Amino acid sequence: MTPRFWQLLASGFGAGRVPRAPGTAGTLAAVPAVWLLAYLPPAVHAVVLLATLPAAAWVCGRAARDEPGRDPGWIVLDEMVGYGFAVALLPPTATVLAAGFLLFRAFDILKPPPIRWLDRHLHGGWGILLDDVAAGLAARLVLELAHRAGWL
């Protein structure tokens, strides 16, 4: 397959090529897929989400191979997977999806520790991916607490 194919996948089928806020566009592009995943049985949902990790790391690494910098902004597959972790196994209500979107973007942009460490010290496809997965897991923790408190 051609490098353009891997770039198409890594860019979220073009979502990452928007001129402003490509990470936000990529996360937004993930909402329908994440919503559909929520209707799978929980065990299947978890397996699908975990199976995306090595595949997404490989695609991100392959797409970034000829690009300057460690994490090109147009690669948004990492945001898409990270957002999937943020709302995984929660009820797919509009409130949960929107709160997950906002929390994920906040953690991804602000990169509090240890997310910042992952972003700075890991390289290649896994480096591109894992800071976003960590941002998704941080958002997921906040969403879980809000859900248990009855706020979502």
Distance in angstroms (rounded) separating the CA atoms of residues 21 and 134 = 20
Per-residue pLDDT reduced to its tens digit, 76-114: 999 999 999 999 999 999 999 999 999 999 999 999 999
Is the dihedral angle over the CA atoms 136, 140, 142, 143 positive or is it negative? positive
Mean pLDDT computed over 50-62: 96
pLDDT at 3: 75
Domain limits, the chain: 3-8+21-148
Supply the pLDDT for residue 71: 83
Q: Which residue is it, tokens 């010290």?
A: 121
- Single-letter code of the amino acid located at 32: P
**Among 117, 136, 123, 111, residue whose Cα is nearest residue 52:** 136
For 15-43, write each residue's pLDDT tens digit.
999 999 999 999 999 999 999 999 999 99
The pTM of the whole model exceeds 0.85: yes
In the prediction, which pLDDT does 1 show?
A: 64
- Distances in Å between the alpha carbon of 23 and those of 27, 35, 39, 44, 147? 6, 19, 25, 27, 26
